[in-house]
Amino acid sequence: MNESMNFSLITSEIFLLCALCVIMIVDLFQRDKERVLTFTLTQASLIVLFVLGFNSLGAERIISFDGHWVTDELATVLKLSIYAITFLALFYARSFISHRNLMRGEYYLLTLFSVLGMMIMVSANSFLVVYLGLELLSLSLYALVALQRDSSVASESAVKYFVMGGLASGFILYGVSLIYGATGSLLIADVAKHFSENSIGLVGQFGLVFIVIGLSFKFGAVPFHMWLPDIYHGAPSSITAFIASVPKIAAFGMTMRLLSEAFGQSISQWASMILIVALLSVILGNVIAVSQNNLKRLLAYSAIAHIGYFLLGVVPGTQESFSAAMYYIIVYALMTLAGFGIVIFMSSENKEYQKVTDLRGLGRYHPWYALLFSIVMISMAGIPPFIGFWPKLEIFRNLIINGYVVEAIVAIAFSVVGLFYYLRVVKEMYFAEAVDAPEISSSRSLKIAISVNCLLLLFLGLLPDSIYQYCLTAFNLMG
């Protein structure tokens, strides 16, 4: 269905924009250093957004605003994931930022602005709107990383992030300009129609290459990964947890809009590029992670490997493989948030534990939290019955049934390499000798958040279809 103007389709975006204005004004009059009201209003806004999104599940696909905006099941499911994981990420952040001169209204406002950018990205139906959403997200994240102004490391990370993010955006923008030159339109539907009736041509091919490079930069896939470990390591841990998880879901939505919908007829051309990037990411991410002793850098290289597995799901180009990739990216965001949650949880007022060896003695002195952290590591390694196993299995299955047998074998082999560094973390917690008991956060909200997040990895693993069915439905309803 195509409608020119229907503001009811952007109810969530309008609500969030109004909520941002209210929270901004309320925060100006906050005398409370803990920003309790700002935090409460932010979380309440996310709950309302989730309810609005949940009520939209199962609605028909509608294109509006002269073809620039699309409301479908894909956008709805991705937005629900964004709201839920952002809600959890802010619970993680609360105790961490209160002790590090970060408890300011800007932290919550920038987080919500980035959520608004992500919402625009996943519902965009034109290259112009995709780019607007991407820039709103990117600018918010640059400012978030730079929020700890008294930290030279965080400032350096913010500059690196800004430069590399700007470079990635430039690649995408240049690619879009070439596509506009080749087709005469910025609407995804018009571009898809043009390339279905005409050959892609040299200009279109160059545009496609630039877009794929820009997307690879945004994901942090090899060989465009050089920025990712430094930013993850240098940014404050709570901000790293957010950056490493939620924006990847929106980037998946952008990838589907740009590659699957706009260049669906040219799948053989972009799939080969994605395949090379994916395999390089799987190999390099897992191999370099083995040598890391810093937990944040280990998780950063682990993230590169996970992005490789996810991109392998995009390569076959079928609706089922896209569903598997979507399943993987949502589960990945949940696992990564829990992984960086460990770093936040091990950060007391006086000390921030970041080395793998700092976890020694956790199994003896804090057995419950050692068990939770073990669940995270084992799930990330892809061992059943935890949730991390099922999307990886679906990725491998789709590769094999679509003829990518050698690629599947390589990915499986390097999954075994990944087992080494994940199980090394478990070994340090339970079997290494500890000099003294490691400190952990005393925050009750953080203890609840980490417990819920980690137990979800087990609960969802026992009910693997709970998320996957929504992913399948999203692509079946896309038409």
* 3-state DSSP assignment of residue 435: coil
**Whole-angstrom Cα distance, residue 141 to residue 242?**
9
**Whole-angstrom Cα distance, residue 335 to residue 385?**
14
pLDDT in tens, 143-163: 998 888 777 888 888 888 898
In the chain, count of helices (H) and strands (E)?
A: 19, 2
Largest CA distance in the chain: 70
Kindly report the number of other CB atoms within 10 A of residue 433's CB atom: 7
**Whole-angstrom Cα distance, residue 111 to residue 422?**
30
Q: Which residue has the tokens 């820009």?
A: 214
Sign of the four-CA dihedral 289, 236, 380, 256: negative
- Taking CA atoms, 113 is separated from 58, 77, 185, 215, 268, in Å, by 27, 19, 28, 21, 36
pLDDT at res. 266? 80
* 3-state DSSP assignment of residue 34: coil
Length of the chain: 479
Q: Cα-atom radius of gyration of the chain, to the nearest Å? A: 21
Q: Which residue has the tokens 């417990």?
A: 451
Contact by Cβ (8 Å): 141, 243: yes
Checking if the pLDDT of 136 tops 90, the result is: yes
Residue 180 exposed, middle or buried by CB count within 10 Å (0-12, 13-18, 19+): middle
Average pLDDT over every residue of 275-286: 93
- Taking CA atoms, 180 is separated from 127, 185, 238, in Å, by 9, 5, 39
Nearest to 208 by CA among 224, 192, 225: 192
> Percent of the chain scored above 90 by pLDDT?
35
Checking if the pLDDT of 439 tops 80, the result is: no
**Whole-angstrom Cα distance, residue 205 to residue 358?**
50
pLDDT at res. 149? 77
Average pLDDT over every residue of 133-139: 93
**Structure-token pair, residue 389:** 């196993």
Nearest to 242 by CA among 369, 92, 414: 92
**Whole-angstrom Cα distance, residue 357 to residue 57?**
45
**Structure-token pair, residue 119:** 């919402």
Phi–psi pair at 463, nearest 5 degrees:
-125, 65
Checking if the pLDDT of 365 tops 90, the result is: no
pLDDT in tens, 96-118: 887 777 777 888 999 999 999 99
- 282: CB partners within 8 A, 6+ apart: 305, 308, 309, 312, 410, 411, 414
Average pLDDT, the chain: 87
Contact by Cβ (8 Å): 328, 409: no
DSSP 257: I
* 3-state DSSP assignment of residue 383: coil
**Whole-angstrom Cα distance, residue 373 to residue 360?**
12
**What's the whole-model pTM score?**
0.92
Kindly report the number of other CB atoms within 10 A of residue 205's CB atom: 16
**Whole-angstrom Cα distance, residue 293 to residue 260?**
39
pLDDT band at 46 (very low <50, low <70, confident <90, very high): very high
Position 153, amino acid: V
Q: Which residue has the tokens 């952990």?
A: 440
pLDDT band at 347 (very low <50, low <70, confident <90, very high): confident
**Whole-angstrom Cα distance, residue 128 to residue 445?**
40
Residue 120 exposed, middle or buried by CB count within 10 Å (0-12, 13-18, 19+): buried
Checking if the pLDDT of 318 tops 50, the result is: yes
- Taking CA atoms, 200 is separated from 127, 256, 261, 476, in Å, by 17, 19, 14, 27
Query: Roughly what angle, to the nearest 10 degrees, separates helices 465-476 and 73-98?
Result: 140
pLDDT in tens, 216-227: 988 888 888 888
pLDDT at res. 264? 77
Kindly report the number of other CB atoms within 10 A of residue 197's CB atom: 8
pLDDT at res. 4? 67
